[in-house]
Amino acid sequence: MIKANAKKSRVIFHIDMNCFYASVEMAYNPKLKGKPLAIAGNPEERKGIIVTSSYEARSKGVKTTMNIWQAKKLCPELIVMRPNFDRYREASREIFKILSEITPYVQPVSIDEGYMDVTSSNMDGTPIELAINLQQRILNELDIPCSIGIAPNKFLAKMASDMKKPLGITVLRKRELSKTLWPLKVEEMYGVGEKTAEKLNTIDIYTIGDLAKKDPYQLKQLLGINGERLKNRANGIDTRPVDPDAIYEFKSIGSSQTMPEDTTDLIVIQRLLKQLAENVERRMKRKDAAGKSIQIMIRYHDRNTITRSKKLQSFIEEKEDIYRLADELFQKHWSGEPVRLLGISVQDVEEKRNIGQQLDLFTYEKVASKENLYSTIETLTEKYGKNPFKKWSPGDKKDDIQPRTSFQKDFLDDYKR
Tell me, yes or no, if 113 is annotated catalytic: yes
Q: Between the CA of residue 183 and those of 140, 177, 204, what are the distances in Å?
A: 36, 9, 14
Order of strands, sheet of 146-151, starting from the edge strand that comes earlier in the sequence: 106-110, 113-117, 12-17, 146-151, 169-171
Cis peptide before 183 (omega within 30 of 0): no
Catalytic residue among 45, 56, 77, 113: 113
Is 112 annotated among the ligand-binding residues? yes
Handedness of CA 64, 70, 76, 79 (dihedral sign): positive
Is 360 annotated among the ligand-binding residues? no
Strands 113-117 and 12-17: antiparallel
Q: Helices 194-201 and 216-223 meet at what angle, rounded to 10?
A: 130
Alpha-carbon Rg for the chain, nearest whole angstrom, is 24
Q: How far apart are CA 334 and CA 304, in angstroms?
A: 12
**Rounded to 5°, angle at Cα 232 from 226 and 236:** 140
Using DSSP's 3-state secondary structure scheme, residue 157 falls into helix
The amino acid occupying position 185 is K
- Annotation: binding site: 16, 112
| Active-site residue list | 113
Annotated binding-site residue numbers for Mg(2+): 16, 112
